[in-house]
Structure 1
Amino acid sequence: MFENHLLSLAIWLPILSGVLVLFVGGDSQAKLARWIALIGAAVSFLATLPLFTQFQDLHAGMQFIEDKVWISQFNIHYALGIDGISLFFVILNSFTTLLVILAGWEVIQSRVSHYMAAFLIMSGLINGSFAAMDAVLFYVFFEAMLIPMYLIIGIWGGPRRVYASVKFFLYTLLGSLLLLVAFLYLHKASGGSFSIADFQSLSLSRDIQILLFVAFFASFAVKVPMWPVHTWLPDAHVEAPTGGSMVLAAITLKIGAYGFLRFCLPIAPVASHELSWLIVLLSLVAVVYIGMVALVQADMKKLIAYSSISHMGFVTLGFFLFEGSQLNPYAVEGALLQMISHGFVSAAMFFCVGVMYDRVHSRQIADYGGVVNTMPKFAAFFLLFAMANAGLPATSGFVGEFLVIMGATKANFWVAVLAATTLIFGAGYTLWMYKRVIFGAVANSHVAELTDVNGRELLVLIILAATVLGMGLYPDLFAQKMHASVTNLITLVADKQAAVAGLSQ
């Protein structure tokens, strides 16, 4: 019955679950709200698993396609589909939402139903962004997902939550305005279609492609975020509740990088090639400079936030490494694997900080020390995630970084050398933080009174540890699903460049 509507289920099940949670009412019914949210998140996640099991690895195009006319006057369609590039992000998003519901189970005590509903509704909107095949549908989901995150930071965040939420909203909204202008131009150029596939089939002049590239870059670079439009992210992470930071790092940053693959490269391949040096330069600044900024942070969440910017710099670097006129397949696949890995690892790191914050109510590194003495189970899991964040082999953090560095070596040796410094900086800021927080003698009475993780927290840690180790030990489970779509994208970009070059001669 539902096998032809799996993507609609992935979108609307969490949204409807969120609406149902809202009807539960005030905090007197908090327990009921939690259980409805958990069941809704679990069912929504299970609904995405057939996307993985039924996915045809050798098929490069869109699968699980749904296409209905939405607004006939403007030829706008409710069109959904995923390929090997977008498959894992739908699953990762639903998986993260389930963990976020568990993470906030006991921590959130006020407006519980609103908190749970915000995450569920946002989960559906994010899935819509990854699955949309119509530009207007994508734009609606892309913009609407800002609203729940704005509320999550603004209502349940820290002391400067209003400042952080407004800054987050304005940065990401203003960047998206040029995206709408680009879509309207492409609608006209394609003869009245908003189909993303029709946009990708257009043969546009070099000058038009450069203008479109600028519009796409303005929108997606802020979402990633790339240096120098990254300043909203540390503020948002520091003020957001633990669940907000988990979703922000694990999922919402990925939509910006996804936009580069879905729009920038296939629609404006000539501009992407000519301006790839700019993306590579900004990405290397994120890897090197932001890595050094992370080294001096005194706040654990701010350190991990800067770490996310550095790791996402690795992603954009991999997407724009050209050998001649062709993208490097190792780098592109490595960047995609890095996106998935970062979703697991960053969510785990923010959850670990949240576990300590719930007990001590401080994120300052100086307020800790000797945590291993009172929380040995927690310290063991935190060590695994810290190692993964530093790119240790056999963890998920190593796989994507290795492939991007290997691809960079083929494109430019010195770019590879600078990119590889992420392994040094990553180990530096992550392990130094871990040493100061976890090892040594018990630093103060607050640490002495800590209790180790409870059953709920242990469950979340075990699940995240399994994903980090599973991907690190068997990355082919992920790579084989995306290979055909990545190859198709690389071929499309190269062929369109050649076509534009032929027209200009």
Structure 2
Amino acid sequence: MILSVLAAVPIVGAIALALLPKSTSGAQLNAKVIALGVSLITLVVSLIALARYDLDAGGYQLTEKHEWITAFGAWYSVGVSGIGLTLILLTTVLTPIVILAAWDDRLPQASNTNAYFAWMLAVEGLALGAFMATDAFLFYVFFEATLIPLYFLIGSFGGPNRSYAAVKFLIYNLVGGLLMLASIVGLYVVSSRDGGATYLLTDLSNIEMSTTTERLLFLGFMAAFAIKAPLWPLHTWLPDAAGQATPGTSVLMVSVVDKIGTFGMITWCLYLFPEAADWASPVIITLAVISILYGALLAVGQDDIRRLIAFTSVSHFGFIILGIFAFTTTSMAGSTLYMFNHGLSTAALFLVTGMMIARRGSAKISDFGGVQKIAPIMSGILLIAGLSSLSLPGLAPFISEFMVLAGTFTRSIPAAAFATLGIVLAALYILIMYQRTMTGPLREDNQGVHDLIPREIAALAPAIVLIIGLGFFPQPVLNVINPAIDEVASHIGKGDPEPKSPVSIAPTTPEGGHE
């Protein structure tokens, strides 16, 4: 029952917040305290789930299975592998950080504070459901349901063009969801031919289907995940959404919900359609490399800080997808670790720059300058978050990016070589942004920018501590990830390539001569 409780706590908390009175400032404070308390309870429950997970046993654990819609074989079935557990921990760690950082967000209507934090908790609960669902139909329900709170968070609480950004976000993701639904219907038809319709991951992974059918069904799932991830050229909704959303909403969207896309690629695409994934991998790897370079190049040219971070995420998701479809245990483990580390670094970037933007009243890089002279703590945290985003050694994303590239080099040297250029471009877009906003003479119109207050430091500190700690010691997270990755590699029949020696030496006889 621990997983059901884990998903239910934030959803029940969201409903309770929505029903609270909202007219007075005292009621709004109560709503914030309740939201933070619920998110901390959820974090504690996730840590209990981690403690109950047997790292040595691997596989899906903490499972529950109950009849749901018997008419067409859908079950309420949940469980976690090391991959899902890692992303559950990411979600439960980031949500209280987001709520604390968003404490004084300037909303279009202050009376909507209850709804603002209720929708945040709803995002958390629904994302947790997606990471633990082991029934395809149940996963689809959670996958689509995450769009509802995000739509309202962007459309009701974002910037001046929030309505356009929210609608674009919704349309892109609904189209992807419909394509996945078509494939789920196809799975129903295929599974019913074998004696009984099923959506259970364990059953579907053993179903025999024709090559054409498998490839068509794979494309439906993959299209939905590529939009969510987002993969070039299906990424264009993200910069608009992130450019208009509040910082907290952007964190939940990019660091948590978008990870459902890459999580789905490993858990559903590779498990259900291994042959089709192998067939499509050259194209997907090519698109991933384009995402890495395209996102980085566009980030270099951005003047809007929020859009810059959005394009960096397009580039980073390219690394994650590249590692998944390189099909080595090193690259896939690196991709899963990258999901966790990217979530932390991007959260820190969105939140600290959001605090800068709120003080200055502008998101343009060109409107800042010399801020480190009056806000040294803010400047220092921005520097750490920025260096983390460019994968500086000693910070968490470096290990995951190195693993992705090392694993990819054994499969495709050209893909890995082009992807490595993204690291160079990352140094450009991060360091240029930091130089233009923080260094140089202090501009007179930046005099009102003040340093972080204790609440803001407390909100950002956990992410910074994890970024530094996992940079030097990532093994605790890898211990959770590796058994699950080994099982995926075994299931799809992709072992690591044998090392190739550049020199071939003939074997010798015992007497020292050559055979």
| Fold in common (TM above 0.5) | yes
- Post-superposition Cα deviations, 1:45-64, rounded to whole Å, max 9, x if no partner, equal 11110122222112231100
SS of the residue 2:209 aligns to: coil
Q: Of residues 104, 116, 124 in structure 2, which corresponds to 1:106?
A: 104
1:41-56 equivalences under 5 Å are 41-56=39-54
**C-alpha distance in 1 between matches for 2:23 and 2:476:** 43
The letter for the 2-side match of 1:193 is: T
Q: Residue 172 of structure 1 aligns with which residue?
A: 173
Deviation at 1:203, TM superposition (A): 2.3
CA contact (8 A) 1:269 1:493 kept: yes
Provide the secondary structure at the position in 1 that maps to 2:62.
strand
Which runs of at least 4 in structure 1 moved beyond 6 Å after TM superposition? none
Instruction: Report if the CA contact (8 A) 1:314-1:401 is conserved.
Output: yes
Shift of 1:85: 1.1
Equivalence map 1:10-29=2 (5 Å): 10-28=6-24, 29=27
Secondary structure of 1:65's aligned partner:
strand
* 1:120 partner amino acid: L
Counterparts of 2:267 and 2:43 in 1: how far apart (Å)? Answer: 24
AA at the equivalent of 2:398: F
Q: How far apart in 1 are the matches of 2:130 and 2:285?
A: 26
Shift of 1:154: 0.3
Q: Distance in 1 between matches of 2:447 and 2:404?
A: 43
Q: 2:34 aligned to 33, 36, 41, which one? A: 36
Pairs within 5 Å for 1:62-141: 62-108=60-106, 110=110, 111-141=112-142
The worse-fitting range, judged by mean Cα deviation, of 77-86 and 48-57 is: 48-57
**How far apart, CA to CA, are the structure 1 residues paired with 2:168 and 2:461?**
35
Matches within 5 A, 1:58-457: 58-108=56-106, 110=110, 111-190=112-191, 191-321=196-326, 327-445=327-445, 447-457=446-456
CA contact (8 A) 2:90 2:340 kept: yes
In structure 2, what is the equivalent of residue 501 of structure 1? Answer: none
Q: How many Å separate the matches in 2 of 1:431 and 1:71? A: 53
Normalised by the length of structure 1, the TM-score is 0.94
Separation in structure 2 between the aligned mates of residue 203 and residue 276 of structure 1, nearest angstrom: 21
- Residues of 2 paired with 1:166 and 1:201: CA distance? 39
Q: Distance in 1 between matches of 2:212 and 2:483?
A: 31
- For the residue of structure 1 that corresponds to 2:345, the secondary structure is helix
CA–CA distance in structure 1, aligned partners of residues 243 and 2 of structure 2: 36
3-state DSSP of counterpart to 1:201: coil
Alignment check: 8 A CA contact 1:227 1:282 kept: yes
- Return the index of the structure with the highest Cα Rg: 2
Q: Measure how far apart 1:256 and its partner are.
A: 0.5
Distance 2:330 2:23 in 1: 51
Contact conserved, 2:328 with 2:494, CA < 8 A, in 1? no
SS of aligned partner of 1:264: helix
Task: Return 50-59 or 85-94, whichever deviates more.
Answer: 50-59
Contact 1:24 1:32 in 2 (8 A): no
Q: Which amino acid aligns with 2:115?
A: H
Q: Any conservation in 1 of the 2:183–2:218 contact (CA below 8 Å)? A: no
- SS, match of residue 85 in structure 1: helix
Deviations 1:132-166 (A, max 9, x none): 11111111111111000000000000010000000
1:282-321 Cα distance to aligned partner (Å, 9 max, x none) = 0000111221111100101100000000000000000111
For 1:197 and 1:362, the matched residues in 2 are separated by 51
**Where in structure 1 are there 5+ consecutive unaligned residues?**
322-326, 497-505
The DSSP-based 3-state class of the residue aligned with 1:86 is helix
Q: Is the 8 A contact 2:386 2:430 kept in 1?
A: yes
1:459 counterpart letter in structure 2? A
Greater mean alpha carbon deviation, residues 219-228 or residues 193-202: 193-202
The whole-number CA distance in structure 2 between the counterparts of 1:448 and 1:397 is 34
Give the letter for the 1:363 counterpart: A
| C-alpha distance in 2 between matches for 1:203 and 1:394 | 46
Q: How far is 1:74 from its partner?
A: 2.4
Per-residue displacement from partner, 1:13-71 (whole Å, max 9, x unpaired)?
A: 00001111111122411011111111111111111101222221122311000111112
**Which whole-Å CA distance do the structure 2 matches of 1:70 and 1:478 have between them?**
34
Matched, 1:474 2:470: no
Long gaps (5+) in structure 2? 496-515
Secondary structure at the counterpart of residue 70 of structure 1: strand
Give, in angstroms, the shift of residue 374 of structure 1.
Answer: 0.6
CA distance in 1, matches of 2:11, 2:257: 17
Give, in whole Å, the separation in 1 of the partners of 2:489 and 2:386.
Answer: 34
2:232 match: secondary structure? coil
Q: Contact conserved, 1:89 with 1:340, CA < 8 A, in 2?
A: yes
Are the aligned partners of 2:147 and 2:170 in contact in 1 as well (CA < 8 Å)? yes
Q: For residues 290 and 344 of structure 1, what CA distance do their matches in structure 2 show?
A: 19
Report the residue type matching 1:464 in the other structure.
A
C-alpha contact (below 8 Å) 2:123/2:252 kept by paired residues: no
Preserved CA contact (<8 Å) 1:27 1:112: no
Distance of 2:299 and 2:56 partners within structure 1: 41
In the other structure, the counterpart of 2:506 is none
3-state SS of paired residue (2:441): coil
In 1, the alpha carbon distance for the partners of 2:273 and 2:137 equals: 19
Within 2, Cα distance between the matches of 1:386 and 1:334?
Answer: 20
Local SS of the residue matching 2:373: helix
Instruction: Report the counterpart of residue 458 of structure 2 in structure 1.
Output: 459
One-letter amino acid of the counterpart of residue 399, structure 1: I
User: Taking structure 2 as the reference length, what is the TM-score of the superposition?
Assistant: 0.93
**Which secondary structure does the structure 1 equivalent of 2:175 belong to?**
helix
Name the SS of the counterpart of 1:492 in structure 2: helix
Sort the Cα spacing of 1:495 and 1:235 in 2 relative to 1 into closer, same or farther, 3 A: closer
What is the percent sequence identity of the aligned residues? 33
CA distance in 2, matches of 1:186, 1:289: 35
Equivalent residue for 2:502? Answer: none
Q: Helix, strand or coil: the match of 1:411?
A: coil
Q: What SS does the corresponding residue of 1:362 show, helix, strand or coil?
A: coil
Deviation at residue 108 of structure 1 after TM alignment: 4.2
Please report how far the alpha carbon of residue 495 of structure 1 lies from its aligned counterpart in structure 2 after TM superposition. 7.9
SS at match of 1:66: strand
1: CA distance between counterparts of 2:307 and 2:240? 8
